[in-house]
A and B are shown apart, each in its own frame.
Chain A
């Protein structure tokens, strides 16, 4: 008799990662607010600390439609064009 595997693995897709910056000093910072409660506050405080310590500047912000939705293509393009570093992924 056989066991039939009912599982599927995620489909593998090639993802090209941007080169990691050696230091955040002086970089342009993008923020993705996923709309979780207080995520905007937490991101703002993070940005303030990074600005004080590394002189980063907030260059782009994206407020997602909801935590469940992905950033739309226009939002991704804007982050790519205007940011060197992006912070995303606030949980609860």
Chain B
């Protein structure tokens, strides 16, 4: 830490963080000893604790630095347990941080929060769940990106080599709408208890919204998702993929009314998310000349039902849902981490 002369002017202090190169382009909240201490305390952390490491990069994420970035992002102290769980997810070996963090693909680190902490913190799961307007959604996601930039050495143009990036790289955090869900919530589907709080992390290059206002049964509705996920420009057609699908109210209702289980939806999409090899060859996504056999040979995008993560969020009204294709199952796996937190 250092002293600055313009101490009396908060804007000058904010400018000093810009000058140091420590922001994501938006103004940060200048931390203080008290705010950092409160943030650490809210997660029962000591400043020197190591939250995780990336061995291949010689990176250790220290609690004190994580808390500093969380304050800068605008987090309230009680958000910190969620931030910590997200950082632990980033540091899981199976997430293989280097790829999704540094790739030209420019992934957002998408955080789905489940359980009691989501409700306690007021993380938005309803209207505009991916959009602006809710402090925990905006600042928890932002804290994770600031930690990546500042404490994990993942800066644009250096170890973040995104060709375009995407706006979700600023922040991408939402809660699942557990109260009106066709199935068990995401974290329960991934092995935790319903009373647990959890963060699921998936690296995703893009969000595309899927629209269908006419479908009244699951099959035609899900064909729209299969079509979107199998497009010739999708990443990692070579090695199978993971994806997150977020069903909003009207589409979730169709699946619920029809009595389809989570597994039914997953199996349908594994079967139908495909293109003919000839289509991918014509688009130069598979090398080689098109053969007669290629015209009748299918290339599937997904290998296993569990590679399709399904969450529910968004408004009750509207015929919209979303696909968030993973950066690639072959190279990185989504991670669900329990949030260490007790409701008081």
Contact = CB atoms under 8 A, between A and B. Distances in A.
B289 interface: no
Interface in B260-301: none
A2 interface: yes
Contacts of A4: 1, 30-32, 36, 68
B111 interface: no
A11 B59 contact: yes
Q: Is the interface of B mostly helix, strand, loop or mixed?
A: mixed
A13 B36 CA distance: 29
Interface string B22-50: 10000000111100100000000000000
Interface stretch (B145-153, B176-184, B241-249, B250-258): B145-153
Interface stretch (A25-33, A64-72, A75-83): A64-72
A21 interface: no
B151 A6 contact: yes
Given A6-B72, A8-B59, A1 B150 contact: no
A8 B3 contact: no
B30 A1 contact: yes
B20 A3 contact: yes
Interface of B: 1-4, 7, 13, 16-17, 20, 22, 30-33, 36, 53, 55-62, 65, 68-69, 72, 96-100, 104, 146, 150-153, 238, 330-332
Given A5-B68, A68-B99, 17 more contacts: A1-B7, A3-B3, A3-B20, A4-B32, A4-B68, A6-B65, A6-B68, A6-B72, A7-B22, A8-B65, A8-B152, A10-B57, A11-B53, A68-B96, A68-B98, A69-B96, A69-B331
B150 A8 contact: yes
Interface string A45-82: 00000000000000000000011111000000000000
Contact of B1 (A5, A13, A67, A69): A5
A7 B330 contact: no
B331 A68 contact: yes
Contacts of B53: 11
A10 B59 contact: yes
Contacts of A9: 153
Contacts of B96: 66, 68-69
Nearest to B54: A10
Given A68-B98, A68-B99, A7 B104 contact: no
Interface residues of A, number: 20
A70 B56 contact: yes
Closest 8 CB pairs of A and B: A68-B99, A68-B96, A1-B7, A10-B58, A66-B331, A6-B150, A6-B68, A2-B1
A67 B99 contact: yes
B332 A68 contact: yes
B151 A7 contact: yes
B303 to A, nearest CB: 15
Contacts of B59: 8, 10-11
Contact of A2 (B2, B100, B146, B332): B2
B13 A6 contact: no
Contacts of A12: 58
A67 B164 CA distance: 20
Contacts of A8: 59-62, 65, 150-153
